[in-house]
């Protein structure tokens, strides 16, 4: 793993990709713990800051959660809904209203955007941004 010129991705992204593959393949199952930062740094020959950046990527993707003093755990992946939209559609992301939070099961205070699809005068949504994939296919 290297941050040398000519490498396709920085070391933290390479490490994130390795850990992501272990998670998505089931090698580290939901509820399973990732090795501690120090162990990951030693195992992959990188600094702890590189490990922290890789874990930040995985947290942002919703694959893991970290608890101070406990470690980093793989979360159960939610079923993703595929939403087909016409190519002419506009998709707007915004934070949900209180009523939408209740309707969509979004915890108060959770940072989960909702998507609203506009096609001409028609509007569809809102859809949870963390559980939906949008496609024109």
- Over the stretch 87-129, which tens digit does the pLDDT of each residue have? 999 999 999 999 999 999 888 888 889 999 999 999 999 999 8
At 68 the pLDDT is 84
Average pLDDT, the chain: 90
Let me know: does 95 contact 121? Beta carbons within 8 Å.
no
106 and 63 share a domain? no
Q: Where are the alpha helices (DSSP H) in the chain?
A: 11-24, 37-44, 48-60, 98-104
Task: Give the pLDDT confidence of 9-51 residue by residue, as tens digits.
Answer: 899 999 999 999 999 899 999 999 999 999 999 999 999 999 9
Task: Give the pLDDT confidence of 72-92 residue by residue, as tens digits.
Answer: 999 987 778 899 999 999 999
Decide if pLDDT at 2 tops 70.
no
At 127 the pLDDT is 94
- 5 assigned to some structural domain: no
pTM for this prediction: 0.59
43 and 66 share a domain? yes
Q: How many domains would you assign to the chain?
A: 2
65 and 17 share a domain? yes
110 and 129 share a domain? yes
- 6 assigned to some structural domain: no
113 and 70 share a domain? no
Provide the domain limits for residue 59.
11-74
- 116 assigned to some structural domain: yes
At 125 the pLDDT is 92
69 and 87 share a domain? no
90 and 49 share a domain? no
Handedness of CA 97, 102, 108, 112 (dihedral sign): negative
Of 55, 74, 93, which marks where a domain is finished? 74
Question: For residue 46, what is the domain's CATH number?
Answer: 1.10.10.10
Residues in the chain: 137
Confidence of residue 130 (pLDDT cuts 50, 70, 90): confident
- 65 assigned to some structural domain: yes
């Amino acid at each position: 793993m290297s941050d040398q010129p000519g490498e396709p991705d920085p070391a933290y992204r390479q490490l994130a990709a390795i850990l992501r593959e272990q998670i998505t393949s089931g090698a580290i199952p939901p509820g399973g713990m990732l090795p501690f930062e120090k162990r990951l740094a030693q195992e992959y020959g990188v600094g702890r800051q590189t490990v922290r950046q890789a874990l930040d990527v995985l947290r942002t993707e919703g694959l893991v959660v970290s608890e101070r003093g406990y470690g980093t755990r793989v979360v159960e992946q939610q079923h993703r809904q595929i939403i087909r939209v016409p190519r002419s559609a506009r998709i707007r992301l915004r934070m949900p209203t209180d009523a939408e939070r209740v309707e969509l099961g979004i915890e108060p205070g959770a940072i989960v955007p909702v998507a609203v699809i506009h096609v001409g005068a028609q509007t569809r949504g809102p859809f949870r941004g963390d559980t939906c994939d949008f496609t024109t296919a």
